[in-house]
Every structure is written in C-alpha cells, then in structure tokens.
Amino acid sequence: MNVFGSGPGIERRVNVANNDVDVIVAPRGSSRPPGIISWFRSVAIAIRSLLTGMRVTAGYLFGRDKVVTQQYPENRETLEMNERFRGRLKLTHDDNGYMNCNGCKFCEIACPNQSIIIKDRRNPVNDKSELDQFIWRLDTCTFCNACIQVCPHDALEWGQDFEGAVYDRRLLVYTLNSYAGPQARLIERAIKKDEQPEELKATIEPRSRYGTGVPLAGDELPGVPALGGEDKEST
C-alpha cells in the first residue's frame, strides 16, 4: 500500500435523499507506522514519486514529436480556422456581387448590445425600403451570433479574420456594406421581369468603411484629428 494513498477509489452505495447513489470514495492511503525503517521507506517512496514525475517531463523534453506549440504569427499563411469560427461580421453577397441584406433591422433588434445600427433609405425606382448603411460596432460586439441567427435572408456571416487590434478605438466602428442599394434578390427579379433593371442598378451608391454617419469613426475627438472618409486601416 502506498503511504501517500493516491490510486483508485473505493466503490460504495449510499442513500441520499431517498435515492441509492453509487459513490466512489477518495483513497486515503495508510499512515506511516512508527519506527526508523518505515521512515526510510517513506523517504524512498517520496523520492520515487518525484522521479516518476520527472520521467513524464523528461519524456516531453526529449520527445520531439510531442511539440504542441504553434508558431503564430509565423504560420499565418497556413493557419486555418474552423468554418464556424466567429471572427468578424461580414455581409454575404451573391455571385454578381450584390448583397443579400434588405435593411429589415431584425438583427438590430436581436442584438443584445446595440452593436448594429441599420440606416435605411427609400429607393426612388421601386419605392422600397433598402439598406443605406450597416454600421457594426466591433468594440461592443460580444460575438454572440444572435444577429446571424435571426437574419431572414442569410445576409450575414462570420469572416475568419480575428486580428482586430487597432491603435484607435474609433476604427472599431465602421460600415459593413460597400454600397447602398437594393438587395440582390430585387435586382435579380428586376432583370428577370425586365422592370427597369438599369435604373435600379443606377441607384447604387458606394459606401466607405469609415465614411460619414458612423458614430465615433470619422469624428474629431479632443486632441485627435478627424479620420476623413477614406479607409485609414486596411483589413
């Protein structure tokens, strides 16, 4: 018997709140009997226990196949995230590059942190409400996935990019959509039914990442100059 008493537990059956519960009781080992010989024995056991632990660590020291450390950021090119990884919010686009979002604000309502601000506008051609600006506040987003879950048009998805650190917090609030205009579905339908597709496409206006209308981004802060309309930060 090991004096230190690590090892398998003792199985028993006890009654708890009128239920029979199978328990397994922690081993206690045995206490050292008095005497000089048992003292030497316990010292030997103690030393052996230290050597056993060192054998494990030595196995890692000399076992080259056991290396688990990844060399980030050197391995950026080969790094692959899981497909469901929640990196950075993105709008989805169809094959022609038109976005699926129609500015219905379901995601804005579902977001627990008010991290999404949707601005709508009315299209002069088909007189339908459509997305003007999709503002996403990365700084307050908790990556809870609620927006993607509720979106009825599958217009949102997670990107795989996780390197979001910037030097200016205003850069964390930005416009997600690259253009304001009708949803992909409406453009497709207009082309199919030939309902003024060219006029509809002509209503599309570009939107920049840190353009106007974004809270914080663009604005001047005490001692910090305004950012201006262009992308100051790639990615």
Partner 1 sequence: MTAPIRTLDDRIRPSDTPDSPLDTQEYFINMGPQHPATHGVLRLMLKLDGETIREVIPVLGYIHRGIEKMGEAMTYRQFVHLTDRIDYLSALVNNWVVARGVEVATGTETNDRIEYIRTIFAEIERIQSHMLWWGVLGMDLGAFTPFLYGFRDRETLTDIFEETIGCRLTMNYIQPGGVMHDLHPNFVKRTKAALAYSKSKLHEYEELLSGNVILQERTRDVGILSAEDAVALGVTGPPLRASGVAYDLRKVEPYGVYDRVDFRTAVGSVGDCWDRYWVRVEEMRQSIHIVEQLIDNIPEGKTMLMKPAKKIVIPEGVYYNQMETARGILGMVLVSDGTSDKPYRIHLRSPNFNNLWALDAMSRGGRLGDLVANVSSLDLVVPDIDR
Q: What is the binding site for partner 1 (CB under 8 A)?
A: 2, 4-6, 9, 11, 14, 16-17, 19, 21-28, 45-46, 49-50, 52-53, 55-57, 68, 82, 84-86, 106, 110, 112, 142-146, 149-150, 152, 158
Question: Smaller CB distance to ligand SF4: residue 101 or 190?
Answer: 101
Closest contact distance (angstroms) between CB of 235 and partner 1 is 20
Q: Strand, helix or coil at 191?
A: helix
Question: Smaller CB distance to ligand SF4: residue 141 or 190?
Answer: 141
Structure letter (DSSP) for residue 124: T
> From the CA atom positions of the chain, what is the Rg in Å?
31
Residue 77: both structure tokens together: 């090119």
Residue 24: both structure tokens together: 């397994």
Which of ligand SF4, partner 1, none binds 200 (CB below 5-8 Å, type-dependent)? Answer: none
Which amino acid belongs to residue 185? R
Place of tokens 């927006």: 147
The site for ligand SF4 (CB under 6 A) is made up of 101-107, 110-113, 115-116, 118, 141-147, 151, 153, 155-156
Closest contact distance (angstroms) between CB of 90 and ligand SF4 is 10
Contact 220, 159 (CB under 8 A): no
Question: Smaller CB distance to partner 1: residue 3 or 125?
Answer: 3
Contact 170, 216 (CB under 8 A): yes
Which of partner 1, ligand SF4, none binds 55 (CB below 5-8 Å, type-dependent)? Answer: partner 1
- 155: nearest Cα among 124, 132, 176: 176
